[in-house]
Structure 1
Amino acid sequence: MTTNLQQLKAEVENELITNILPFWMNRMPDDVNGGFYGQVTAENKVVRNAPKGGILNSRILWTFSAAYRLTSKPEYKEIADRAKEYLITKFIDQTYGGVYWQLNAAGIPTDTKKQMYNLGFAIYGLSEYYRATQDSSALEEAIKLFELIEKYSFDTLDNGYFEAFKREWNEMEDMRLSEKDANEKKTMNTHLHILEPYTNLYRVWKSPELKAKIENLIHIFIEKILNSDNHHLGLFFDEKWNRKGNSFSYGHDIEAAWLIHEAAIEIDNKQLLEKVRAKVLPIVDAALEGYQSDGSLAYEFDAEMQHTDTESHWWVQAETMVGAFDAYQLSGNQKYLQVVFSTWEYIKANLVDCENGEWHWSRMPDGSVHPTQDKAGFWKCPYHNGRMCMELMMRI
């Protein structure tokens, strides 16, 4: 069992360098069509003709850029270079701007919608690549994407950001990020993943406009998205910020707690930071209502069915590690540190795939590994678990 912070730091560093990153370096580069394969199945089979998602490519870019920045290992820069090149030449729409949602295996666009979540991750990856390499072309592309989000997606009437547009930036009927989402104009998830890249972009580009946009996003979270009755984040909203339904996501709650805190620290607005710090621990505590006796965090609570989904997703456990550690750093309260240690034991025993590399998608409520969800794919990327390792390496 991991019992002290130095041991934990050594273990997460080892996990990153010997298990997570090698999987992506060795299995994923597509040497026929460029970029990366779009899918590795639960059975660890590479699907060579799988479509390629913008989110996966951008998250690979972020992960390997961050890993290179932290370690200076040239092999990480090689993967980051590949991801950056492919993003700029294939995923960025040279005619209308923005990022395509999906390409086929050969790199031809097959879904050209402009999802703000997708543009956000491209900014996240490109800004991190610039942090790691000082390549000004990456920063230029990131700033262009920021300007497009502000031009087309920002709601000048009711504040916040609309979800998605057609290729030419016209309105679209179905704006959902995925099939399980409600078709609403504004969502917590997209706002979180605009705040996150804007924060990273601000690290390298101290634009007053960008700073104001980050401040505004933090206010949106505190005043509109956060449910002050129970400290959970609402998931779906109409354009007037009326909350649609009362379900919540334990994983997004704990991820948001530390990302909002990080944003407030980065922009150095002391008054706003105080406001945020008053909210961090209540949000973390609300998220930990879903904490299981085995050391895992449940996925979400469905208010309509009055049902807690206890499937333990890889990304939720990774975010629990960072969110709980951030809460420990903020409060000094050992209970949060205990969550970090317990969740890490759960991850090692249940999610890390020592034989084939990377982590399993999830464990089902009966304890079995999810039989069909990808090992790598549109949504299964190295960024949640890779970032968790790097955050703890930096914080301890």
Structure 2
Amino acid sequence: MDFNRYSSIYLKNLVDEVLPFWLKNSPDKEYGGFFTCLDTEGRVFDTDKFIWLQARQVWTFSMLYNQMEKNPLWLETAIHGAEFLKKHGRDSAGNWYFSLSREGAPLVQPYNIFSDCFATMAFAQLYKASGVEEYREISVNTFFNILKRQDNPKGKFSKAFPGTRELQNFSLPMILSNLVLEIEHVLDPAIVEATIDKGIHTVMEVFYQPDSGLILENVYADGSFSDSFEGRLLNPGHVLEAMWFVMDLATRRNDQKLIEKAVNIAINALEYGWDKEFGGILYFLDIKGNPPQQLEWDQKLWWVHAEAIVCMLKGYEKTGDQRCLNWFKKLHEYTWKNFVDEDNGEWFGYLNRRGEVLLPLKGGKWKGCFHVPRALFLAQGLLKTLAEKEDKVLSEM
């Protein structure tokens, strides 16, 4: 396999098509922050600002500045977003709102802890890029606020009636597994290790279901199964993203057995979630084969396929499992055929089951400058590493 050719495809898409799209169309030069509701050609169709997308974009340009190239425009863009967040993004208790008006007035209360998670990532990465101490303080304070809220993340905004069906959701422990590695340069090492221990246990033991070999979105506090809409819910994309997070944690601890378990779970998720009729990964499934309650269950989403590509490349790079390489080729073909817009830049976000563009947008309330550039950056690097390994093996023959 020509890993160098694939690496060039991913790098070119990132540098020539995706980043220019956001740099040209997204910054709000009048009020600060970023526009994320962008149509096919990058025109703004709504000016509301969603905190986690603002923070994700700060993180993206900070990360690329730190890991790819000391491009002053990237750092300037990250600071542009961070200063808007710093000024408008939090309530008096330090909780991050869900959304703001264009000018920065709060629109939606801080019910969603993922705003806090991505703000933590953003300011930690920007601190690394800029050395500004205030950014470090914001990141650390927000992280400890997340730890305080993690057992009841929605707090007073929860719609669930207490004491009846008390489920825990997979998303937060999944995010924390990645978040702690993102911000370890601003944390005490003991806190880092304790968070990793808890993350691995929760993701790989509590939510993992040995009978199916899959990870569910919601379980009871003890990890037991809830035969309900929420309890039967499977999100293959979350499983695939989480498994490459776990591979990173396992690599840090030199735990090859854990890496192999993560690869097997990821393969199970792909085999279960792949649409045998039209191709692509289904968004939601019911573990018992019942109709899911989510009406969008059969859509094909950009982030699911981007994370699957990263997961399979990491799995192959760390284990040499041929199944990962086979799946990468299949995912690459589907993604480049259906999501990538080589005429206008960036990727479409939402396809119908047949793989046709469902919404002609490049960004919105949930899609911003994050999954695509992160996946492209990671994929091109992994493919380059695989090419170097292959060259070394050939030279030694």
Deviations 1:336-380 (A, max 9, x none): 1122233222222211112222110122113320136x4212210
The match for 2:56 is: 59
The match for 1:168 is: none
The match for 1:138 is: 135
**1:380 partnered with 2:367:** yes
The match for 2:391 is: none
Shift of 1:283: 0.8
Shift of 1:32: 2.2
SS in 2 for 1:40: strand
The match for 1:99 is: 96
SS in 2 for 1:37: coil
The match for 1:188 is: 170
SS in 2 for 1:47: strand
Determine the C-alpha separation between the residues in 2 that align with 1:88 and 1:243.
41
Shift of 1:228: 1.4
The match for 2:388 is: none
SS in 2 for 1:237: strand
- Among 146, 153, 157, which residue is 1:172 paired with? 157
CA 130–341 in structure 1, closer or farther in 2 if over 3 Å, else same: farther
- Among 208, 213, 218, which residue is 1:236 paired with? 218
Q: Is the 8 A contact 1:131 1:204 kept in 2?
A: no
Shift of 1:13: 0.8
Deviations 1:4-52 (A, max 9, x none): 111111111111111111111111111222111241246754125x321
Q: Is the 8 A contact 2:209 2:216 kept in 1?
A: yes
Q: Which amino acid in structure 1 is aligned with residue 280 of structure 2?
A: S
Determine the C-alpha separation between the residues in 1 that align with 2:166 and 2:115.
17
Within 5 Å, which residues of 2 pair with 1:304-383? 306=290, 309-371=297-359, 374-383=361-370
Q: Is the 8 A contact 1:184 1:236 kept in 2?
A: no
Shift of 1:334: 2.5
The match for 1:163 is: 153
**1:127 partnered with 2:124:** yes
Determine the C-alpha separation between the residues in 2 that align with 1:201 and 1:258.
17
Determine the C-alpha separation between the residues in 2 that align with 1:127 and 1:265.
22
Q: Out of 9-18 and 300-309, give the one that drifted further.
A: 300-309
Determine the C-alpha separation between the residues in 1 that align with 2:107 and 2:359.
28
The match for 1:178 is: none
Q: Is the 8 A contact 1:116 1:194 kept in 2?
A: no
Determine the C-alpha separation between the residues in 2 that align with 1:134 and 1:342.
42
Determine the C-alpha separation between the residues in 1 that align with 2:247 and 2:146.
23
Q: Which amino acid in structure 2 is aligned with residue 119 of structure 1?
A: D
Number of aligned residue pairs: give it: 369
Shift of 1:59: 0.8
SS in 2 for 1:375: strand
Q: Which amino acid in structure 1 is aligned with residue 235 of structure 2?
A: S
Q: Which amino acid in structure 2 is aligned with residue 222 of structure 1?
A: M
Q: Is the 8 A contact 2:338 2:356 kept in 1?
A: no
Deviations 1:174-216 (A, max 9, x none): 37xxxxxxx9652111221222212211145343123212211
TM-score by length of 1: 0.86
SS in 1 for 2:107: strand
Q: Is the 8 A contact 2:244 2:311 kept in 1?
A: yes
- How well do the aligned residues superpose, as a CA RMSD in angstroms? 2.4
Q: Structure 2 unaligned runs (5+)?
A: 385-397
